[in-house]
Structure 1
Amino acid sequence: MGLNGTAGTSCVKRAGDGYILCRLVASVFFVAVLAFAAMPRSVAAQDFSFGSFRVEGNQRIQTSTIIARTGITPGKTVTAGQLNDAYQSLLDSGLFETVELDPQGSTLVIRVEERPTINEINFEGNKRIKDEDLSKIVESQSRRVFNPRQAERDAAKIAEAYSQTGRVAATVTPRIIRRSDNRVDLVFEISEGDTIEIERVSFVGNRAFSDRRLRQVLETKQANFLRAFLRSDTLIEDRIAFDKQVLRDFYLSRGYVDFRVNSANVEFTREHDAFYLVVNVTEGQQYKFGKITTVSEMPGVDAAAYQKIIKVKSGKVYSPSLVENTITRMENLAVKQGVDFLRVEPRIKRNDRDLTLDVEFALTKGPRIFVERIDIEGNTTTLDRVIRHQFRIAEGDPFNPREIRQAAERIRALGFFETADVETREGTSPDQVIVDVNVVEKPTGSLSLGGSYSINDGFGVAIGLSESNFLGRGQRLSLTLSTAQESESYVLGFTEPYLLGRDLRLDLDLGVSSTNSSYAAYDTRTGFFKPALTFPTGELSSLRIGYNWDRSEMKDNGDSSFGAVIGNEIAQGSKVASGVGLTYTYDSRVSGLNPNAGVLFQIGTDYAGLGGDSKYFRATGKVIAQTKVYHEEITLRATLQGGVFSWRGNGYSRTLDRFLLTNDIMRGFEPSGIGPRDQSGGADDAIGGNYFAVASFEAEFPLGLPEELGLRGGVFYDIGNLWNVSNVDTSGATIVGANGAARHVIGFSLLWTTGLGPLRFNFTKALKKESYDKEQSFDLTLQTSF
C-alpha cells in the first residue's frame, strides 16, 4: 500500500496545486479499487435455483396462491431479472402492502404484509347526493381487499358526480380507519361546496335569431330566482355538448346548412361565484328547396310513381328531416310494390346565386342482403314481441339500414329502457346480417301527485298510479284520482298499443265522476265505460272508433231556487246512454312540413241509441291553425270550434246532454255563463243549447323581460254563440237567449312558466254581451305534477 492508503500511488507533501491534484487522483483510484472488490466474482452469481419456498406473513391468502403468483418453477434456474419480475408481480396484484424476496440457499423466503380488507364504506359530508346513489358510483366494496389506487379513483368519480350537478368545487378525500383482524373502514370525506350557476348565456355571430330565441332552444338556462325548482342553470359539461348539437339541429331544420358552432367558452365572473357562457356561431345563409326530381336507375321501376308521393315543394325552407321523410316514404312505396333492395340516394346540388338546393332522389339497387335473425338480449321483464313490434321487417326480409335506425329510435321512445343499442353484424354468410338488440331495463311504474287551481273549480289534488309496461307486455294500466272543491273523478284506464300484433291501439276507460258546482242549482253523478280503437290513416292522421256507455243523474243540491227546466230534468232521475262514436284527427303542428306552422283538424260524431234511455246524435269539430313570425318570437293562432246536438228519443233531452260552454272554449264568462237560460220562479239557470260556434284569435309574444323569468304575454279576441233549446221540457219555464246572439270578448293573458307548473292569468272585457250573461273578467289556472 502506498501513502494515504492508496495502492501504487505516492504523493509527497509539498506546497502548491500539484500536491492537491495528486491527492485527488489518489482518492479516485482508491474508490475504484473498492468498487471492483465489491463486484461479484462471476456472472453466474446472479442465477438462482430454488428447490423449496417459505412464505411468511400471509393470513388470508393461501401459500400456494402466492407461490403461483411468482411464476417461479421449483428446480428451474432463474435470473435476477426474473426474480425482480416475481417481486413486481406480487406487488402489482394489489393484495399486499409490502413484499420481500429473500434467497436463502435453495430456499426462497417470501415475506408479505397483506393489505387490509374493507369492513364497511361510509360517506360523510354529503347532503345533495344520497348514500345509496354514491354507493352505485364507487367500485370499492365491503369484504374485498382495500386498494388505495381504487379508492382514489372512486373519489374522483364522486367529485365528477358533483360536478355534473354544478358543484365543480366539490372535493372528496378517501380515508381509512384501522380495525381489528386487519380490517379498515373506508370513509369518503366530502366537501360539497357551493353550486356555481350560469349567470348569463349569450351568443356571438347570430343575426337571424335573437339571443332570447336561441336560449329557448338550449337545455342550459340562465340563473333565476326559481333555481330551487329548476337545476338547469348549473354548469354541466355534457349538457353544453348536447346544447351544441341541439343548436345545430335547430339551424339545419331552418335551412342554414352551413351553420356551425365555433366555440362555447365558459368564463368565471369577476367574483368567481358564477359563470358566463358565450356561444360563438356562424349562421351562414338560409337555403330553400330548388328543383325536386326523381330518377330511376333500377330496371322496371317507374320514377314518376315515386315523384307523385313527394310532398315537399320548391320554395320551401330546406330541412334534412324533410328529405329523410321523403326517402322513407319512397322506400315504403317500394315495399308495397314488391320492389326489393331499393335504395333512395339524395343528390343535392347547391345554387349559391339564388340560395337554393336542388334535390334529385335517385332510385338505385342496393346490395342483396337479407335479415338472418333478430337477437334480443337484456330484457328480463319486457317480452321479446314488444321489442319486435318496433321493427317493420322480420327474419328473411331484405335488409334496410334506414329501417334498422328507425326501429332503434322507436325502441328508445318506448321509455322502458335505460339504454337500447341496435347494431348489425355479418351472419352465417356474406349476404346475411344479424340484428343485435341489447337493452337495459328501467322501472316503468310511477306515482304522480299533482295540484291544480282555477277560479271556477277551486283547488284540486290529483293522484295517479300507472304502469306503462304492465306484465312486460308494453301495456299501460293507470288509476287516476282527481278531486277539486267542486268536482271529482276516479278513472281506471288500460291501453294495449298493438292489439293483435298490429298498429291498432285499444283503450279502456272505466270510472265515476261528480260535480258540486256553485254555478248550477244541481249536482251530477256519472259512471262510464268507454272502450275505443285507434289506428293511423296516414302519416299525420288517425281514426278513433269507440263505444260509450254512461249512467248519469242530476240531483237537487239543496238550492230550491232552480227553475222549471232543471226541476223537470231532476225528476227524470238516472238515465243510461249507450252508443258509438267516431273521431278523425289530422295534426301537422309537430311533424308537418313547416316546423313553425301547422294545422289541427278534428271532427267527431257520437250516436246514442244502442239500448239505454237516451237517443241522440252529436257532432263536434275543431280547427286550429298556428304559425310563428318575427324570427319565431311571436306565435299567432286561430281556432274555430262548433257543435250540433239533435235529440232523437222519446221525452226530452237534459242539460247534461246539450252543450255548455266553459272557459277553455269561450273566455270572458263564467262556466255556462252564456247561452239560453231559464229565469222562471226567480231562478237563473243555464240550460245549455243544441248548437254552438266559437272563433278565437290570439297572439303570444315576449314581454322584453329576462327569459329566465318564464313570462310571456298574449292578446286574444273571442267570438262565440250558443243557442237553440228544441226538445226541452219548457213547461212553466221562462226562457231567454234561445235564439242566440254573438258575444265579443277581448283580453290580455300573462303566461308564466314556473317550477310549480304553467300559470295563466286572463284579463278579459266583453265588448258585446247579453244582459243575462255571467261575465268573468279575471281567470287564473294552474296545473302541475310533482
Structure 2
Amino acid sequence: MTARGRCALSIFFALLLGSFPALAQTPSPPAERQILIKEIAVQGNRRVQEAVILARVGAKIGSPFVANRTAEDIRAIFSLGFFDDVQVKVEDFEGGVKLTYMVVERPFVRDIVFAGNKKEDSATLQEKIDLKLGSVYNPVEVNRGADKLKEFYEQEGYFEVGITPEVEKLPDGDVTVTYRIAEGRRISIDKIVIEGAQGLTPKQVKAAMETQEREYIVLRGTVQRQKLDEDVDRIIQLYNDFGYVQARVESSEIQVDREKARATVRIVVVEGPQFKVGGVDVVGNAVLPIEEIRKRIELKTGDVFSRSKLRDSVKNITDLYSAVGRASADVVPNTLQDIPSRLVNLVFEINEGPETYVERINISGNTRSEEKILRREIPMAEGDLFTSQKLARAKQRLTNLNYFDKVEAKTVPGSSKDKVIVNIDVTEKPTGLFSIGGGYSSQDGVLGTLDLSQRNFLGKGWEVFLRLRGGENLQTGTIGFTEPWLFDRPLAAGFDIFNTRRLLPDYTVESLGGDIRLGHPLGEYSRINAVYRVSQDRISDVNELGSPQLISQKGTHLTSLVGVNLSRDTRDNVYDPTRGSTASIGLDFAGVGFGEKFVRSVAAATYFQPLPWLEHVLSFRFTAGYSFGWDKDPVPLFERFYLGGSNSLRQFKSLQVSPKDNTGTRIGGNSELLGTIEYQIPLFFGIKAAVFYDVGQVWGPDIAGGAKIDISDLRHGVGAGFRWNSPFGPIRIDYGIKLDQRKGESFGEFNFSAGSSF
C-alpha cells in the first residue's frame, strides 16, 4: 500500500477511534460535556525528535478533543516526509483521552558508494546528484540520481556508460545506496556534417560551434550532448547575424560507431531567405535628440540584418540614457518582417523613465579595510545622479586597489522609482608580503632577496615597503611609504630612500639618495605627479686607459632633480590589462640649486585590445625619450638612455643597446625610440604564452659618428615567452631573436624578470 493510502486509512481509523468516547456516553442535550486531551505521546520514532513531530500537530494537552482535527494532524506529520506510516491511537485517560501518534520512520541513507568509476572521481559524481548522506531514502530520488549520472557521463563523451543503482538494507533499517558504473570508452567526433547550408558555408557553421572534430592530439573532439545543444543556439545566432531571421536547425543527431569509438554529428539546417534592414525608426524619446540616438544604432537601411548588432544597438542606447542619469530607461526593439520584400523594419521604442538618484551605498565584506578607503574610490555619493558608467568605474577602481580577491557592484530598487541602492561587496585578500629567498635575473645574475611590504597598512590604504637585493652585479636597498589620500583628499604623497651599487661592464655606480612624491588626479582617468629627488652618485672602477668620456665622469656626482609627469590610464586592470590604454609625458629638470645640470623628457603610450576569440590580447607600446645637458654640463652616464633586456629590446642583454665612443665603450645616449607589439594567449593556471616584435634604438648627439637620429639604424627583433602572475608577483620569461644580426653579435638572448611589463 502506498504512503498516501496508508495516510487515508489512518485518518479513517482516527475518525472511528475518536468517536468511541462519545459513543460511550448516554445521549444528552446539546450542552454535552467536552472531552479534554489529558496526554499526548509519540511512539516509533528513532531519529526524528518528538518535539519536531508534536510541533506539527494542532492537538494540545488541556484542549478539547476533536476527531477531525486528529485527522489533520496525521496529514501534517506525513508532510514532514520522514515517515512511511502514521497512525493515532485514542484511549480513555484520567477522565479525558490520551492521543498516541504511532509512526514508522522511512530508512535513512547511511552511505552512498560509487563503484567502477575510473575516469571521474567520486566527489565530482556526488556533486551531480541530489541524494545526500543522512537524507530520507526515496527510491524515486535514487533512480533520478542514476539518470543524472548517465547524463553527466554522456556530456563528457561516455556514450557507452551504464549506471545501475543498488540499495542494501542495513540491520537497523537504514540503507546504503551503491551506483555501479560501467564507464566505457570516451567517444570522439570523427566528422561533423552540415546539411542544408547554402547561404553560409559548412566551414562557417562549424567555426561557430564549440563542438569540434578530432584533429590528432590538438583537439580531442569529444561528444558532449549539452555542448551540442548549445551549438544549435549558436548556429541559429550565426544565421540571424547574416540576415537569415527564419533559419532553424531541423535536427541534430549523434551517430555512434561503437566498434571504432567514433561518432558523426549530423546537423540539418533550414536557412530560409536572407533579410535586409528596411526602415529604422525611434519613438518615445524626449530627453535626447533623435540624431544622437541614431548615431548609436549599428543597423542602417539596406544593411544585412544582424541580431547581434540589434542587441548592441539596444545596449548603446541604454548606455547613452544611463550617462545622462536615466538608468531605468527601457529600450524595446520591435522587428517587423516584410516577408514579400525580405525586409526587417526596426522600431526602437524608448521608455525614458525618470532621472535616477543614489539613495544609499552599502559596503560589505571589508573585514580589514576601513570603509572610507572604499567610499573614496566610488565616483558617486548618496543623492548623486546615478549612471551605470559610474557603477562600472567604481568596480574598476576598487579592483585596481589590489586589496580584494573579488569586487561585486550591484544595484537594487530604492524606496521609489527614481532611486537605487548601490551594494558593494568585497572579499579581502592578503596585502602583506614577507619573503626571504633567492632568484636569478638575466641582468643581475644570482640574487638574494628580502621583501617586506604592506599595500594596505592597518587597513588605511597606506603602502609601506622594504626591499633588499644582493647579487653578483647588484646590491640595493629601498624603503618607501605612500599615503594615497593625504588629509582625506585625493592627493597622493610619499617618499623613498635608496642605496644602490651596480656593477656594469665598464664601471661601477653607487647611488645614495631619496625622493618626495606628490600626485593628484585630473578628472576620472588622468593624473599629474611631481617628484623631488636628491642623490649622490659615485662612478668608480674605471679603466684609466679606456674611454675618455668615462674617465671624465669618474668620481662623485650630486643630483638635485624636479620631475613632473602627466598621465592618463583607462586600462580595465592595471595588474593584468586586457583592454584600454595608457599615455604619459614626463619632464625632469636637474640642477635645482646644485649638482648635475640636465633636462630629460620621456613620452610613452600603451594600448590593449582584446580579440573576440579565446581571450587573446594584442598590445602595443611606444616610448620616446630625449635629454640634454645645460650650462655646458653633459648628461651623466647613469642618467642616459640604454636599451636591451626585459621590457625593452628583448633580443639584447640588459643595457647592451647604446652608442659607443671611439674605444668601443657603451656610454649611453641622449635620445631613444622603442616600439613593441605583443600577442598574449592564455594557457592554464594563469600562465600566458606571448609572441612579440620589438624595434628601437638609442642615439647620442655628442658622440662622434652618431650626431643625428637615424631611423634606418633601428634594431628589429622577434621572440616568444611566458607570463605568469605568481603569488610572488608577475614573472616574465622571454627569448628574443635579432632580425638584423650584425657581426660579432649573438643570434638571440634569454631574459627573465619579475615585475609589471607595461
TM-score of the two chains, using structure 2 as the length reference: 0.60
User: Identity rate of aligned residues, in percent?
Assistant: 15
Q: Does 1:691 pair with 2:671?
A: yes
- Pick aligned residue for 2:99 from 95, 104, 108: 108
Change (3 A) 1:426 1:554: closer
C-alpha RMSD of the superposition: 7.5
**Equivalence for 2:644:** 662
Amino acid at match of 1:692: E
Structure 1 residue 224: Cα displacement: 10
For residues 695-738 of structure 1, the C-alpha deviation after alignment (integer angstroms, 9 at most, x for no partner) is: x5879799xxxxxx98886667x463411348xxxxxxxx7756
CA contact (8 A) 2:82 2:106 kept: yes
Q: Which whole-Å CA distance do the structure 2 matches of 1:441 and 1:699 have between them?
A: 32
Look up the match of 1:425.
Answer: 413
The answer to whether the Cα contact below 8 Å between 1:493 and 1:510 also exists between their aligned partners in 2 is yes
For residue 443 of structure 1, what is the amino acid of its counterpart? Answer: K
* Residues 173 and 190, structure 1, Cα contact 8 Å, conserved in 2: yes
8 Å CA contact 2:718, 2:736 repeated in 1: yes
Task: From 530, 535, 539, give the equivalent of 1:551.
Answer: 535
Q: Partners in 1 of 2:213 and 2:559 — Cα distance?
A: 53
| Residue 439 (1) aligns with residue 425 (2) | yes
Q: Matches of 1:213 and 1:785 in 2, distance apart?
A: 41
- Kindly tell me: are residues 173 and 688 of structure 1, through their superposed partners in 2, closer, same or farther at Cα, counting changes over 3 Å? farther
Tell me how far apart the structure 2 counterparts of residues 314 and 116 of structure 1 sit (CA, whole Å). 67
Counterpart in the other structure of 2:555: 571
State the alpha-carbon separation in 2 of the partners of residues 670 and 406 from structure 1: 42
Partners of 2:448 and 2:246 in 1: CA distance:
47
Q: Please, which of 746, 758, 761 is the counterpart of residue 735 of structure 2?
A: 761
Q: C-alpha separation between the residues in 1 aligned to 2:243 and 2:181?
A: 46
- 2:590 aligned with 1:603: no
Task: Please give the per-residue CA displacement for 1:225-246, whole angstroms capped at 9, x wherever unaligned.
Answer: 899xxx999989799979999x
**Aligned partners of 2:501 and 2:419: how far apart in 1?**
60
The reply on whether 1:583 has 2:578 as its aligned counterpart is: no
Aligned equivalent of 1:645: 627
Q: C-alpha displacement at 1:307, in angstroms?
A: 10
Q: How does 1:137-536 map to 2 (within 5 A)?
A: 297=286, 366-367=353-354, 370-376=357-363, 379-386=366-373, 388-389=375-376, 392-398=379-385, 400=386, 402=388, 406=392, 410=396, 413=399, 416=404, 418=406, 420=408, 422-427=410-415, 430=416, 433-437=419-423, 439=425, 441-443=427-429, 445=431, 456-457=443-444, 486-487=473-474, 504=490, 506=492, 508=494, 510=496, 512=498, 514=500, 516-517=502-503, 519-525=505-511, 528-529=514-515, 531-536=517-522
Aligned match for 2:39, one of 52, 58, 69: 52
Q: Give the Cα–Cα distance (whole angstroms) in 1 for the partners of residues 423 and 164 of structure 2.
A: 38
Does the CA-based 8 Å contact 2:509-2:638 persist in structure 1? no
| Alpha-carbon distance between aligned partners in 1 of 2:753 and 2:162, rounded to the nearest angstrom | 36
- C-alpha distance in structure 1 between counterparts of 2:551 and 2:211, whole Å: 57
- Contiguous gaps of at least 5 residues in structure 2: 1-11, 22-36, 682-686, 726-730
In structure 1, how many angstroms separate the alpha carbons of the residues matched to 2:261 and 2:367? 47
Deviation (angstroms), 1:46 = 6.0
Aligned to 1:33: none
Task: Show structure 1 runs of 5+ residues with no match.
Answer: 1-39, 703-708, 727-734
SS at match of 1:685: coil
TM-aligned CA deviation for residue 645 of structure 1? 1.5
Cα distance in 1 for partners of 2:355, 2:448 equals 59
Displacement of 1:659 after TM fit?
1.5
703, 708, 720: which one aligns with 2:697: 720
State the AA in 2 paired with 1:690. N
1:56–1:111 CA contact under 8 A, matched in 2: yes
CA contact (8 A) 2:559 2:591 kept: no
Distance 1:554 1:348 in 2: 75
C-alpha contact (below 8 Å) 2:659/2:667 kept by paired residues: yes
Flag the structure with more relative contact order, 1 or 2, with Cα contacts below 8 A and sequence separation at least 6. Answer: 1
Structure 2 counterpart of 1:646, one-letter code: F
Q: Which residue of structure 2 lines up, in the alignment, with residue 621 of structure 1?
A: 603
One-letter code aligned to 1:655 = L
1:425–1:676 distance in 2 versus 1, CA, 3 Å = closer
Specify the SS of the correspondent of 2:410.
strand
* Cα distance, 1:547 vs structure 2: 0.6
Judge conservation of contact 1:198–1:233 (CA < 8 Å) in 2: yes
What letter is aligned with 2:533? W
Distance in 1 (CA, whole Å) between partners of 2:605 and 2:182 is 53
- Distance in 2 of aligned mates of 1:377 and 1:523: 50
Does the 8 A contact of 2:517 with 2:530 survive in 1?
Answer: yes
What's the offset of the Cα at 1:148?
Answer: 5.4
The structural deviation recorded for 1:534 is: 4.9
1:776, 1:269 → 2: CA distance? Answer: 56
Displacement of 1:660 in angstroms is 1.8
Cα distance in 2 for residues equivalent to 1:463 and 1:226: 43
Letter in 1 for 2:507: A
Say how many residue pairs are matched.
Answer: 690
Contact 1:448 1:463 in 2 (8 A): yes
Q: Report deviation, 1:778.
A: 0.5
Deviation at 1:437, TM superposition (A): 1.7
Shift of 1:52: 2.4
Contact kept? 2:15, 2:71, Cα under 8 Å: no
Q: Residue by residue, what CA displacement relative to the aligned partner does 1:276-325 show, whole Å, maximum 9, x if unpaired?
A: 9999999999999x999999845xx9999x79999999999979779867
Secondary structure, counterpart of 1:656 in structure 2? helix
Contact 1:576–1:613 (8 Å) recurs in 2: yes
Distance 1:624 1:468, change over 3 A: closer
Aligned partner letter, 2:596:
S
Cα distance in structure 1, aligned partners of 2:182 and 2:543? 61
Deviation, structure 1 residue 535:
2.4
Question: Which one-letter code corresponds to 2:700 in the other structure?
Answer: W
What is the aligned partner in structure 1 of residue 718 from structure 2?
749
